[in-house]
Amino acid sequence: MTVIVVMGVSGSGKTTIGSILAEALGIEFADADDFHSHSNIAKMSEGHPLTDADRAPWLADIATWIGERRLGVVTSSALKRAYRDVLRGDHDVWFLHLDAHPAVLASRLSLRKGHFMPASLLASQVATLEPLQADEPGSRIDVAEETRLVALRSLNAFYQRDSRTV
């Protein structure tokens, strides 16, 4: 059994696509934002990027959630390979890397209302991002297209699991 980790920078559609996948598969969904400490949320709200030390307890909590399930979908920026290694641990995890040109992501963030993550932090996330590698279980999906198409491509990649980019 597999837990899907929907990863990518802010504005890539992790929550939207993750919840669609979970509903389509009939499995539990968790949003990584719900695992953040109040201090991390405050820091990001003030426009400051998180450090590895800030992220460590957050990643550990998500990894615990993963370890407690045989099936599920959870979001996480999972920007670095080391972060993905923490999330994967010794569990059956498949990563769905939602990717797009930074201009597409910036446009999406400019339209988003009521989220603690300001658009000003996009550049730091893009600079930190280590894209999903060929030896990591998962697929990379371009999210510049309409949401339903991205969701269908994501489901197809999950079912095929040998696809690297759709």
pTM: 0.84
Which residues, at least 6 apart from 147, have a Cβ–Cβ distance to it below 8 Å? Answer: 13, 16, 17, 20
Nearest residue to 89 (alpha-carbon basis) of 73, 67, 71, 68:
67
Distance CA 143, CA 72 (A): 21
The answer to whether the CB of 11 falls within 8 A of the CB of 118 is no
The confidence score (pLDDT) of residue 67 equals 96
What's the pLDDT score for residue 46?
78
Domain 3-160 has CATH 1.10.645.10: no
* 43-to-105, 112, 129, 132, 162 alpha-carbon distances in Å: 21, 19, 19, 27, 38
Question: Tell me, what's the pLDDT at 110?
Answer: 62
The full set of domain ranges for the chain reads 3-160
Binned average pLDDT, 10 residues per bin, the chain of 166 residues: 90 92 96 85 78 91 95 95 96 94 74 56 80 94 92 94 52
